[in-house]
Structure 1
Amino acid sequence: MRKAPEKFVELMVGTVLEPFARLPRAHKLALASTVLLMAAVIGVRNNGDQESLSLPSLNLDRTPVAIPEDAPAPVAEAPQAKALSLPNFEYQIHSGDTLSGIFDHLGVSQAAMYQVLDSDQEILALDTLKPGDTLRFWLGEDNELQKLELRFSLAHQVIFSRVDDSHFEFKKVDIPGTWQSDALGGEINGSFYLSAQKAGLSENDIARISSLFKDKLNFARDLRAGDSFQVVRRSQFVDGEATGDTELAAIRINNRGKELNAFLFSDGSYYDADGQSLARAFLRYPTARHYRVSSPFNPHRHHPVTGRYAPHNGTDFATPSGTPVLATADGVVTRVTNHPYAGKYIVIEHGGKYVSRYLHLSRALVHKGQLVSRGQKIALSGATGRVTGPHLHYELHIAGRPVNPMTAKIPMAASVERKDKPAFEAEVKQLSAQLDQAGQPAA
């Protein structure tokens, strides 16, 4: 009795497979690929809780976290995407994602991921990914990664393109857009942090204000109820849409009848209304002793490990492991983390357009969000990551672009230069008028 159903199944299978067997080989491969792709997409959509979707560690001291069950499955594009006109996959970052997990989720090899990370050590863009950012993947034969685009916002993208079997090169895309100003203000009611948040300022805005005035004002002790603040904030737009990038153009704090102010000038530094710098001058060297430069800043450097020509966006100092590393200017620590090739590193924002990076450290002595002063010991040098020996790699970025920290024009003076004073005074007059318009909402 059980043989009848089996005979029926055999007959049905033969009916389906016989026409398939007569197809040309190319047609068989195309049909089989289509069936497998459909099965994969359906499987991912219907089995989001399968073990195969758990995220392996990237060896960056991060705890592996499973992709959220409600995360959208990658959408496969048409075959012509392989011509690199359209991406094969587009994936939006979710909380808990890791890079290795995303590559696994999309079926892209871990080897390709580390090839991209190798190229990324010059800009460390992948380390800044956050929920809401988008990754776009272009694949070739055998699902081999050909191009990866990191879309941080409408104005900022980084593109990694394959140059040979084992290497990628990167390209930064920064769109200037247009900047619009708005004036925000409020009264102190409780802490400055909560009052500023209520007025619409972000955590980054508040940290920058605290850093700028830390030598002039104790925010926890000196401010009282009834004191006020006003801010002119510029926001970037591309084709009428906000990119999320902002900068503080002017700040005013009224503390018991005393007025403190800061104005961002075209040189990227903040000054008070008289043109005196709020931040102390930069240090040229990130160490107390001037160690030998073992590898200078060079946009076309011959890499000592890979043998390829690639940019060297910083200056390497031949420091023994354990050498104290100093912050080159006042600022806010925005990143303390590890990278497979850059090693343990620290990033500090110095207000305005200045950012410094310190790579291959053996130990960090500060934490994210901490305010630091010029000359403060922030780390110990080492040999972490991919290096040929102990050294300190130091970078300085102005307006998002790496510069030679040994020769770049950085704030070394304590005031606006005389030749720039008329332009500065005109800027202060305009910004002060905008600060006067900032409302002070009732407590």
Structure 2
Amino acid sequence: MPQIARSIAQAYSNLPRPHRVLLGSLSVITLAVSVWRPFIYQPESFDNDADNYIAPGIIAKAIQLESSQLRALTPEASEPLDQPLPDDKIPQDELDDDDKTGADVGVREYVVSTGDTLSSILTQYGIDMSDVSLLANKNRDLRNLKVGQTLSWELNEEGELQSLSWEVSRRETRTYKLVNGNFKESVEIQQGVWHNKLLAGKMNGTFVNSAMAAGLSRSEVNAVIKSMQWQMDFRKLKKGDQFAVLMSRETLAGKREQSQLIGVRVRSSGKDYYAIRADDGKYYDRQGSGLEKGFMRFPTLKQFRISSNFNPRRLNPVTGRIAPHRGVDFSMPVGTPVLSVGDGEVVISKRSGAAGNYVVIRHGRQYTTHYMHLKKLLVTPGQKVKRGDRIALSGNTGRSTGPHLHYELWVNNQAVNPLTAKLPRSGGLAGQDRTEYLAQVKQVVPQLQFN
């Protein structure tokens, strides 16, 4: 045994100094971990069962932790355990799509854009990759999505995919429903007749009421609002302002089945605004310039460490129950400037319970962003902001275990992953796409006549 010890000591002495330091440090750490255990201290006392003296500072009892207590020691427990829910809701108005007639509240809709795949679309909404794989592996045609096509899907209360509809064209829709653990496909071919219909009118009260009085359905009114959302605030249109809407409608057996917005023109205070649909499903002005306002990916000047990621199926590390985390937490020093990621209007700026000081900004009619746990608010409700404007200073207010910014992005009243979601971007058509679009504009614009 002494000979083995001498051999080890000699081998250790022959190691380079950095290696000896590293090996010695690892040995100390290993020894410390091996002897450590949870303990409590008791003041100087005597054991009740025997006259055994217990000296101060000596371990009196080893603590046996339950599984729920062990979860509380995990790294996840250092973050807020539940979604911070503000005490009040975002103000609604008559332009918000609150008409649920004939529609499932849990159904989401998405228009395919350049570079989209089935997995990139669904996972950004928090749908589990296993559900996406199950759907795609059994239905390989879904790998051939085209720009401008529409996907809609329905989830159950646990956030699991139950069905998906793929609008291949205006005539063909494919539906995939979960049956006995597999997605079963059904195909519906519409044999109706499509025709264009011009609907025009003047503002007399709200835009929603004025447009419906001109013959538009509620879903068609919503399509008009979304197409023009970046150009104007429909709530500020005045009596006498005019609008003209060109719809393509399908009738089947004398009954209207579906419709698609082709173009819209609004005249307000003597100025005309246009939005015309291109083949990619988006709307542009008469020159082919994009109408969307570009977003920044991050709400700060530089990127910070992510302390908690977007996870709509997040498991509470203490309670073991599902506690969705609908945003991203960025760890940053208190007082870091927080920026608006896009042009918009502040709808909430206040202190509210678990969220602490927080700001909500509405961008157009489809997008809202939420910023929570702030130290100082720099904006007020109703204020207009531009992309990159300072709206607050980061902090540690509300239910928070450390300085950080909780940031959320909502699209069509659905929280999405801010780090992977397809963001609105400024830009227009180019090349052959623009040439084809301008040819379409020449046909559509002359039809957009006021009464």
Q: TM above 0.5, one fold? A: no
Q: TM (normalized to structure 2)?
A: 0.44
Q: TM (normalized to structure 1)?
A: 0.44
Larger gyration radius, structure 1 or structure 2: 2
Structure with greater contact order relative to length (CA < 8 Å, sep ≥ 6): 2
